[in-house]
Amino acid sequence: MSPQVRKAAEFVLRNPALTAMHSMRRVAEEAGVTPPTMLRMVKLLGFDGYEAFRDVYRQGYHLLMSDFGGRARKLQMRRDQKVSLWSDLIEANNGHLQQLIDRVRSDDLQSAAARLLASRRVFVVGMLSSFSFANYFHYVGRLALPSWHLLSAVGSTLADEVATLGPRDAVVAVGFNPYALSTVQVASLARERKAAIVAITDSETSPIATFANHLFIAPNDSPQFFGSFVATVALVEGLLAYVVNQGGEELVENIAAIEGTREIFNEYWSPDKPR
């Protein structure tokens, strides 16, 4: 694709609802391209005209609702359906895991893990709905590698936490639509500072994907009103496993040291300990 046609294609991928509802002229204006450019794009994709292209988005519009309130209302409308909501939820999550099997190669995980291991420091960022996954990734990873840092802006500004980010560092960015601005800003800064970027996100057109050296797509569409994060957890666990798998004896010693210190601090419950 030419740069302008590519720009048009990326816009409709990121804005399916707007594409379904508005004219070619309006979509072209929003995308920052001319109407003839939009027409060239749909012709390149095999459509006879723009209306045939837009019909695809119109027919699937009920799947494109991104507002949580609207999706929750749609979920409530299933109360009287005979099809089991639980079955649909499991089927969707099984599909996400199958997509990971089909799309993510062992070599991809090995390459990303090697880059994280070679980094002076690893900064993990994921805000809003992605914070819990970033926190889990950091919590487990830091057991083996004390040089991992979770970005949270708690007690400081985010700028303070990444002020010394440089080319010997790496950033793991986790983010899904709607994307947290601060996560995108950290990824952008990392690219500017020539740090390596490992991105876990939901689309190749995600603003985080734009900056990634290592990109992992975690599908998250779901009958639930909120996205599904089964694939996200699987990717996080897989990447952590490859980091430890490729690390040296020092990682094992770090984990053992933390375990021993936790025993000293009496952090774990035991039936032998007083309640």
> Does residue 151 form part of some domain?
yes
Q: What angle in degrees, to the nearest 10, is found between the helix axes of 35-44 and 50-59?
A: 70
Greater model confidence, 42 or 153: 42
Residue-level pLDDT at 211: 93
Residue-level pLDDT at 67: 66
**Is the same domain home to 120 and 187?**
yes
- Alpha carbon distance 153, 269 (integer Å): 31
As given in the structure block, the two tokens for residue 139 are 């919590």
Q: Write the pLDDT tens digit of every residue in 85-95.
A: 777 788 888 88
Segment 135-160 mean pLDDT: 87
Which amino acid makes up residue 237? E
Residue-level pLDDT at 66: 52
**Is the same domain home to 22 and 120?**
no
Residue-level pLDDT at 56: 82
> Does residue 22 form part of some domain?
yes
Domain of residue 111, CATH code: 3.40.50.10490
> Does residue 269 form part of some domain?
no
Domain of residue 31, CATH code: 1.10.10.10
Residue-level pLDDT at 61: 54
> Does residue 83 form part of some domain?
no
**Is the same domain home to 256 and 125?**
yes
Residue 81 has pLDDT above 80, yes or no: no
Percent of the chain scoring above 90 in pLDDT: 48
Confidence of residue 62 (pLDDT cuts 50, 70, 90): very low
Supply the range of the domain harboring residue 16.
Answer: 3-63
**Is the same domain home to 57 and 101?**
no
> Does residue 80 form part of some domain?
no
Residue 38 has pLDDT above 70, yes or no: yes
**Is the same domain home to 54 and 150?**
no
**Is the same domain home to 109 and 217?**
yes
- Alpha carbon distance 20, 22 (integer Å): 6
Among 48-57, 167-176, 190-199, 253-262, name the one with the lowest average pLDDT.
Answer: 48-57
> Does residue 274 form part of some domain?
no
Q: Write the pLDDT tens digit of every residue in 153-177.
A: 776 688 888 999 999 999 999 999 8
Segment 124-149 mean pLDDT: 92
Residue-level pLDDT at 83: 63
3-state helix/strand/coil string of 196-239: EEEEEECCCCCCCHHHCCEEEECCCCCCCCCCCCHHHHHHHHHH
**Is the same domain home to 191 and 257?**
yes
Distance, C-alpha 20 to centroid of its chain: 25
Place of tokens 């599904």: 228
Q: Which of 41, 63, 85 is the last residue of a domain?
A: 63
Total domains in the fold of the chain: 2
**Is the same domain home to 54 and 108?**
no
The reply to whether omega before 178 is within 30° of 0 (cis) is yes
- Alpha carbon distance 75, 96 (integer Å): 20
Residue 63 has pLDDT above 60, yes or no: no
- Alpha carbon distance 248, 147 (integer Å): 15
**Is the same domain home to 197 and 244?**
yes
**Is the same domain home to 168 and 221?**
yes
- DSSP letters, 125-186, are E--GGGHHHHHHHHHHHHHH-TTEEE---TTS-HHHHTTT--TT-EEEEE--SSPPHHHHHH
